[in-house]
Amino acid sequence: MSLADRIVNIFDTSNPVFWVLVALLAALALFKVIRPFIFYAGFVYPNAKFAAIGHPFIGKRELDRIIDANGLDEYRTIINQVRGYELRGETARELQNEIDSNFAASVLDAAGDMPKAATAVTDAFGRILDGGLIERAVRAAMTGREVLIPGSPLIPQTMELIRAISSVPASEVGGALRAAGFGDAVAAQVEGVKEFDEAQFSVALTADILSNPRGGIPKSCRLPLRKFVKLYADVENVKSALRAKQLGFDPDYTKKLLLQGGWEISPWLLQQLAEVDSVTEAVSQLEGTSYIKPLRDAITDYEKEGSLRPLEKALDGYFITQVVRISVEHSLTIGPLLRYLVSRAYEVRNLKAVAKGIEERVDRERLRELMVMEVTV
């Protein structure tokens, strides 16, 4: 039988091989059509769970309840009722440690609930927040002090790195950072330096974390993660510029404290922020960006207090609100996860501040002023 005859025979509808081919092609076509739906289906349960858990302690009503609590016992009872916690601590420090542990567990739970392909997102978020723990460990090592082992890092690799830093001399801290996956720009901040510059180390560490998410990020998750990372860079840059102006840093040094690759603040605007002389001038430079409204609303309080607290609080509230928008725009993938993680992080901050304030009998109105909440822009 010739080749042509064989081909014709295959496509003979009375030949079983023909129907096998048809079935295979149909299965491939069906898989191609439903594959995206299978991927999105993996987010349905965790996103519904995040919505059900909510974020009551960045809202005024529940914050007022704990701020007005008559002592830490009532504070603990309210949180256990609203959040489902099982806090048992008697002092502010004990409660703060339990809250940190609960947050670390919630990040691990979130990672476990998400599709495996998206767990790199929770890892990236954990690395951002754990950056502060790494900075403290490196600062201690570089200044000859004891490196304290933290109780509740958000990702296991942070604990491994800090243990490594605690076990080597200052001259080998750079090697420990490289072994943990950080780049040369981070290690260079601690290798062969006459004096450790914590601010520049912090910038290098944050830049490395933001630019090098570990693990594969699914294509459908890249845009919301990119928006989040660039938004975070913008907010950190504004905060850094305002702090630099408040402390009187010169423009050249200020530029070293700024991250590249923000969402809305362009490189030339970063240069302008570094070169102005005062906080109010820096705020004015942001005219035309979405950051101007929350900052302008807070500038009067800054001028009264002489403290950056009102401006930083305004930026934090703005950041939460923008993450909410990302959550809505990308509600089928990691948007709700990002909102959940960010909201929980600020909840932890609020809860710890209130516990400390109640124990130290801080004026309740002063405590309200310290709370970070979502803002409308």
Distance CA 113, CA 211 (A): 25
| pLDDT score at 127 | 85
Q: Which of 19-28, 51-60, 150-159, 173-182 is the most confident on average?
A: 173-182
Degrees (nearest 5) of the Cα angle 107, 240, 285? 125
pLDDT > 90: what percent of the chain?
63
- Stretch 89-113: mean pLDDT: 89
Single-letter amino acid code for the residue at 206: T
What tokens does 296 get? 């302008």
What tokens does 321 get? 């609100």
Helices (H), 188-308: 198-211, 219-247, 251-256, 267-275, 279-285, 292-305
Look at the alpha carbons of 195, 199, 200, 201 in this order and tell me if their dihedral is positive or negative. positive
Give the pLDDT band (50/70/90) at residue 23.
low
Give the pLDDT band (50/70/90) at residue 9.
low
**Above 60 in pLDDT, residue 202?**
yes
Give the pLDDT band (50/70/90) at residue 106.
confident
| pLDDT score at 174 | 95
| pLDDT score at 375 | 67
**Above 70 in pLDDT, residue 274?**
yes
Note the Cα 305 to chain centre separation in Å.
29
Give the pLDDT band (50/70/90) at residue 3.
low
**Above 70 in pLDDT, residue 4?**
no
The answer to whether 290 and 325 are in contact (CB under 8 A) is: no
Domain boundaries, the chain: 1-50, 116-217
**Above 60 in pLDDT, residue 190?**
yes
